[in-house]
Structure 1
Amino acid sequence: MDQRHAVKLTSRYQFDNGWQISGLVYFHSGWPMTGESGRLVKNTPNGTYEIQRRLNERNQLKLGNYKRIDMRIHKIYPLSNSELTVFFEVSNLLNFDNECCIDRTSYSVDGEGKLLKKEERGHWLPIIPSFGVKWAF
């Protein structure tokens, strides 16, 4: 895989009252991908067209850069013979719109008989808050 740059930074701070806050900043350059192209073929005497699809050269295109910031706050409560952890975390805190793929490629023909291509890109998950309790014994 051709991923030229990747950076991951993490940090954690513990407050005097036992709460901890941690964060992660993640970035990597866009991953390569293989797109497709279409070709318009006139296939009937009455002028109707067929669109022939084909894959482009492998890894010819690149997705956009990926970036994400995650935050977590938690506290551990010691119990006799076990411990209870309460946490709240947010993945993709700033709701970056990271591309993951091409979901769909569609073609149409305009009034002049030219082939038009439309790509719909898919995206990784949006902002995701979560809350949880973990009991370890």
Structure 2
Amino acid sequence: MAGTLLNTITTDNAGTRLFARSRHISLSKNRNKMFVGDWDKGLVCFDRAGNYLSTSSESDLNAAVGVCVDVYGNIFGVGYTSHNVVQYNEDGKKVGVIVRQQDGLLNPRSVCFHKELSRLFVTMNNSNVVKMYELE
């Protein structure tokens, strides 16, 4: 296999730099959008051609490092310094904080959705554990 570079995404439509410290990337359920978790900028959204759409940088999601999408199109962003998981809809609009530090998160790093079990799996920095959360 070999790869051919198709596009390099660095700025939005106005020429403003999009990333400072990008971490993870995930595709939407229908594969028409992609979401990038960036430590400094938040959750950055693009269309499938790589055109910038939006940035979600709410105070609830600090140091966005992990991102994943479930089978319903919900996006889950992990906040490293906010110690939480924030849910967004398919358009990148915040639904709410669904897992908090009080639920056992401390410096979460990555998140994965298991569609058959409807559960989120979250890893944490400097930890040898994976937390599993059932979604209701």
TM-score (norm 2): 0.25
Q: Larger relative contact order (C-alpha < 8 A, sep ≥ 6)?
A: 1
TM-score (norm. length: structure 1): 0.25
Determine which structure has more spread, i.e. the larger CA radius of gyration: 1
